[in-house]
Amino acid sequence: MDRNIAVISARRTPCGKIPGVLSGVSDVEMLAQVFRKVADSTKGVPIDVALAGSAFPVERDNLCRKAVLSAALSPSIPAATVSKTCASSDEALFQGIQAIQCGRADTVLIGGVEKNSNSPHILGVMKQKIKNAIQGNLPFYDSVAEQIQENDMAYLAEMLSRKYGFCREKLDHYAYQSLEKARRAQNSGCLQEEILPVPYDGGDKPAYLCADETVQNDASFHDFQHAEPLFLKDGLHTRYTAAPISDCAAAILLMEERTALKNGIRPKAIIKDYLSIGVPLHNVGEAMGLCVQQLLSRASLSVAEVDLYEINEAFAAQGLAVIEALGIPPERVNVNGGNIALGYPVGATGLRMDVTLLWEMSRRKARFGVSVISAGGHMSQATLFETWR
């Protein structure tokens, strides 16, 4: 069907540390706040459905529905919560796109949220990894290479580093550049338009988190160079070249293009195409590069014709592998810092990246932007945006 998918509004909360000032704010309330904000852009057009992605929701009873009601949106809006590991929120986005494409909806509210500071699963994993690192109970690469599972992402990143011949110095430089870009973006204020300040308990008076709490402004390159391996005794990744797990919520309002124009709503962008793939075992860790390659081929675009890329960098090796495999100009990638610098809210990461990309495309008057995220060791999802003209 000839139904174009327009992006009307896109906002996110800051990324919060674990533990940090957002620890006392529930995942329902964080998502409700961004839902409420982007829903203001409907100009009275009813929202047909709401979908949200979360890998490890603390609120187990349909988090998305709880957030819709908490945001005081219409109780007639049906809602569902989607889980697909790191790609959970992008999977919600894809399902929303498909609902509009097939004529089942005209307006869809998409969200992503992860409250890792209250997640028993995430906290348990983090505690064990830190304990092993402190006690020196880390394995060697050769002892785990044959037993790496699909979602052992830290070990897959180490495998990818060896496959591409990345040395420790290269990973450190990549991660530090990501941090430098995030610092510049934060200091210049260019991220403020996309960020919705989140209130938290500040004691005697109301307090708001207005910027990403995860950006390590006190870290130097010397710190990067001298950090101990975090996952393997002979590992290449450290606490600085692995993205810090964080708290965050993001939301995007989608609308069928003609519906938007008929109601006097100017879109921010059009979603030109989207793609989800799985890859065989011998391509483990390379799914993102292959996904972008196929997406651009479908759109008859070259790598050079895309102005901006948001590439998942849960680990430095991931981002580097995509850049080198496709020959992407590094200056077009994660221009405001990637997940290594801004934080990794697991299932909300993809939508956070989409929101940042959309605002940066608008600032630069860029035509095309691509966002890509991994979804477990064998899958990836990518979205192609075009600024509405």
Q: Looking up tokens 């006097």, which residue turns up? A: 264
Instruction: Encode the chain (389 residues) as per-residue pLDDT tens digits.
Output: 689 999 999 999 999 999 899 999 999 999 999 999 999 999 999 999 999 999 999 999 999 999 999 999 999 999 999 999 999 999 999 999 999 999 999 999 999 999 988 776 666 666 666 666 666 778 888 888 777 766 688 888 999 999 999 999 999 999 999 999 999 999 999 999 999 999 998 777 779 999 999 999 999 999 999 999 989 999 999 999 999 999 999 999 999 999 999 999 999 999 999 999 999 988 878 999 999 999 999 999 999 999 999 999 999 999 999 999 999 999 999 999 999 999 999 999 999 999 999 999 999 999 999 999 999 768 999 999 999 98
Three-state SS letters, 99-163: HHHCCCCCEEEEEEEEEHHHCHHHHHHHHHHHHHHHHCCCCCHHHHCCCCCCCCHHHHHHHHHHH
Q: Which two tokens stand for residue 30?
A: 């964080």
**Cα–Cα distance for residue pair 110/95, rounded to 1 Å:** 9
What confidence score (pLDDT) does residue 135 get? Answer: 65
Give the DSSP H or E segment for 383.
strand 379-387
Amino acid in position 312: N
**Cα–Cα distance for residue pair 312/318, rounded to 1 Å:** 7
Strand order in the sheet with 269-278: 79-82, 49-53, 107-115, 247-256, 5-12, 269-278, 379-387, 368-374, 308-311
Those residues with Cβ within 8 angstroms of residue 185's Cβ, 6 or more apart along the chain or in another chain: 191, 335, 336, 337
**Cα–Cα distance for residue pair 198/160, rounded to 1 Å:** 37
Q: How many CB atoms lie within 10 A of CB 201?
A: 10
Give the DSSP H or E segment for 66.
helix 63-70
What confidence score (pLDDT) does residue 133 get? Answer: 66
The sign of the CA dihedral 175, 176, 182, 186 is positive
**Cα–Cα distance for residue pair 180/177, rounded to 1 Å:** 5
Report the residue count for the chain: 389
Could you read off the pLDDT of 64-76 as tens digits, one per residue? 999 999 999 999 9
Name the DSSP class of 15: P
Domain ranges of the chain: 272-384
Q: Which two tokens stand for residue 73?
A: 């949106």
**Cα–Cα distance for residue pair 166/332, rounded to 1 Å:** 21
Residue 357 half-sphere exposure toward CB, CA atoms < 13 A: 36
Class of domain 272-384: alpha beta
What confidence score (pLDDT) does residue 154 get? Answer: 87
What confidence score (pLDDT) does residue 380 get? Answer: 96
